[in-house]
Amino acid sequence: MPVTKHSFARYQVIDACIRNKQRSYPGIDYLIERCSQRLDQQISRSTIEKDLKAMKDDPEPGYYAPIRYDRMKRGYYYEDPGYSISNILVKDEDIDAIEFAARLLRQYRGFHMVRRYAEAIDRILDVIDVRRILSMEEFEEYVQFENPPYLEGTTYIEPIIRAIKEKKALRIEHLSFKGFKPQPVSAQISVNGSPSGITSRILHPYLLKEHNNRWYVIGWDENEKDIRTFGLDRIKSIESVNNTYRKSDFNPREYFKHTIGISAPQSKPPIIKIEFTKQQAQYLLTQPIHPSQQMVKETKDKVVFRFELHPTYEFISFILGHKDNLKVLAPKWLKDRVFDIISRMLKQYTVSDSKIGQSLSP
């Protein structure tokens, strides 16, 4: 049976369910429910049964997944706990085809549409070159690549892109983290029968954006009467609606011009000056964190960079992540904010350590 985009999407969902350690040994009914929810259509039992067989035995898709059924627990599992269909390595002839396509694209890297993918093309060719040198066994032993985990919501990418292109509004069921408290699955139901923390919104999508291996959709939210951002991993369902599409002069480049990550305040950004150690500065010189980055001062041990951007959550996380390798110089209110965060962190650890010490004392 040929692999279609829909069957491939189901394989991804089934694989994620089987690998889910928090709900191990998923049964056939659970796989039907998850696939139906992810693809926003009713999936039959026979379809899932055929998918499981194809993943186990069929040369196309060629996974030969070690899927087993536990009669005691009435669910499926991988005989190899570390297995995932995402770990399948391509054949030599596939590598040849990929190399040809990548090198062909590299010839046109000066063109606007190709230039933006130049880094990805170079990375593909680097992997191929390494694979040529090493055998399959050596490749797996000497080289390890980052393998992002499967994320919920990726099956919504296609319908969202279609809605953007066709200028159609969407109804989304979105799980908000604000005020949401983890509870047992059976308890995560509100009085009206809907999962707690989930709100229904009418969204006029403008942009699909990836950040840190997560996908987001940005658009006009009828509930808030403003542009909002929603993580696809927290969208529980999606459907087209006949609401008149709200056209906009939304410009992605301008919208995210003065920010890092997915948060994008639309006010005038402040001028930020940060002093880095000489060693850390080398990383910023080779890979700037923002287009506005400028080196304004250099001493024997320090380098000062200037940025024109908003100190969003992502940028604050960047600052805290580099700890003693940098110091915020300006503006003063940002310096005070970072100091306050560090002080509260220190107090939290001090209080915790004190309580631990008291509990251990005789």
pTM higher than 0.75, yes or no?
no
pLDDT score, position 321: 87
Given this chain, do its domains 5-87 and 154-159+167-177+194-255 carry the same CATH topology?
no
| Total Cβ atoms within 10 A of residue 8 | 11
Instruction: Output the pLDDT for position 97.
Output: 64
pLDDT in tens, 49-79: 999 999 998 877 778 899 999 999 999 999 9
Average pLDDT over residues 325-334: 91
Neighbour tally for 236: CB within 10 Å:
18
pLDDT at 180: 43
- Separation in Å, CA 147 to CA 91, 120, 167: 19, 15, 34
Question: What pLDDT band is residue 187 in, cutting at 50, 70 and 90?
Answer: very low
For the segment 27-40, the average pLDDT, to the nearest whole number, is 88
pLDDT at 183: 45
Question: Under CATH, what is the fold of the domain 5-87?
Answer: Arc Repressor Mutant, subunit A (1.10.10)
Q: Which CATH number fits domain 154-159+167-177+194-255: 3.40.50, 2.30.30, 2.60.40, 2.60.120?
A: 2.30.30
Using DSSP bridges, classify how beta strands 67-70 and 75-78 pair: parallel, antiparallel or unpaired: antiparallel
- pLDDT reported for residue 193: 40
What average pLDDT does the chain have?
A: 79
Query: How far, in whole angstroms, is CA 198 from its chain's centroid?
Result: 20
Distance CA 184, CA 77 (A): 23
Lowest model confidence (mean pLDDT) among 69-83, 101-115, 265-279, 326-340: 101-115
Q: How far apart are CA 102 and CA 100, in angstroms?
A: 6
Helix (H/G/I), strand (E/B), else coil: 76: strand
| Amino acid 87: pLDDT | 67
Q: Where are the domains of the chain?
A: 5-87, 92-142, 154-159+167-177+194-255, 258-362
pLDDT score for 177: 62
